[in-house]
Structure 1
Amino acid sequence: MDDFGYHTIWDITGADSYLLKDASALHDFFLGTLQYSRFTVLDHLIYKFDVGGEGVTGLYLLSESHLSYHTYPETHYISIDVYTCGSNNISISECIRNFFGSGVQIVTRTLLRGSNVVFKEAEK
């Protein structure tokens, strides 16, 4: 089996604080995005904090690896982390941009992962 993968993180600022507190809306969005992107969701866990900003943390276990996020409504920030084996995260990125709207600032970084990538990087 090929162990090549993509590890993408999104840092989003300027997001609506009410949305970042809405565990149900976030859950529906991420689950729908993963299904739309044809990833296989094996399980998920969502936790809504009721003190200290009322943020939400979510984790989706995928057969392809995982998606996780954590919101900070008090600073209008959400961090999203997706690692997928074999398949890239382009469709997820498009969905994220559409969901959070044009008024946010998004910084995205992607690392290539896998034994072949690590070995080639070590040779440099």
Structure 2
Amino acid sequence: MLPTTANALGTHILLELNQCPAALLLEKDTLETALVQSAEAAGATVVKPIFHQFSPHGLSGVVVIAESHIAVHTWPEHSYAAIDIFTCGDPVIASRIQAEIEKRFAPAQVSGQTITRGPSV
């Protein structure tokens, strides 16, 4: 789990997920479901998911949540997903979303960073 700062306006987690199961990175509905369920399980409020399937493969999408958003870009040929989690307010929600995503994506390797957004309040 990456550290967060409790006094920032927002928390932005940048995740690099390597060696993910290809099936999750190839199918639009499967990926969308995984991210929506991750947000809901973390206590976030899902507003709307929007995803696009590229040809021959790869997906990009965003799950708009009341707290901000989760964005994803996949490269199935490299078993790789780049995910951004941005939440306003309680930084614990971003950390919970990260944990849920890692559980569902089951990557062999995770790296990333947490950025605090806005002035401390």
Structure 1 residue ranges (4+ consecutive) displaced by more than 3 angstroms after TM superposition? none
RMSD: 1.8
What is the aligned counterpart of 1:57 among 60, 65, 80?
60
- What is the CA–CA distance in structure 1 between the aligned matches of 2:27 and 2:71, rounded to whole Å? 16
- Alpha-carbon distance, 1:3 to partner: 6.7
The match for 1:111 is 115
For residues 31-70 of structure 1, the aligned pairs below 5 Å read: 31-51=36-56, 54-70=57-73
Name the counterpart of 2:74: 71
Name the structure 2 match of 1:17.
Answer: 22
Identity, % of aligned positions: 27
Distance (whole Å) between structure 2 residues aligned to residue 16 and residue 78 of structure 1: 10
Question: TM-score, with normalisation over the residues of structure 2?
Answer: 0.84
Gaps of 5+ in 1: 118-124
Please tell me whether residue 95 in structure 1 is matched to residue 103 in structure 2.
no
Aligned positions, number: 113
1:54-103, Cα deviation, whole Å (9 max, x unpaired): 011111112211110010011111000011001221211211221122x5
Tell me which of 7, 12, 18 is aligned to 2:12: 7
Please report how far the alpha carbon of residue 116 of structure 1 lies from its aligned counterpart in structure 2 after TM superposition: 3.0
- TM score, norm. by length of structure 1: 0.82
SS at match of 2:87: strand
CA contact (8 A) 2:53 2:60 kept: yes
Residue 4 (structure 1) shift: 0.9
What is the one-letter code of the residue matched to 1:34? A
Structure 2 unmatched ranges of 5 or more = 1-6
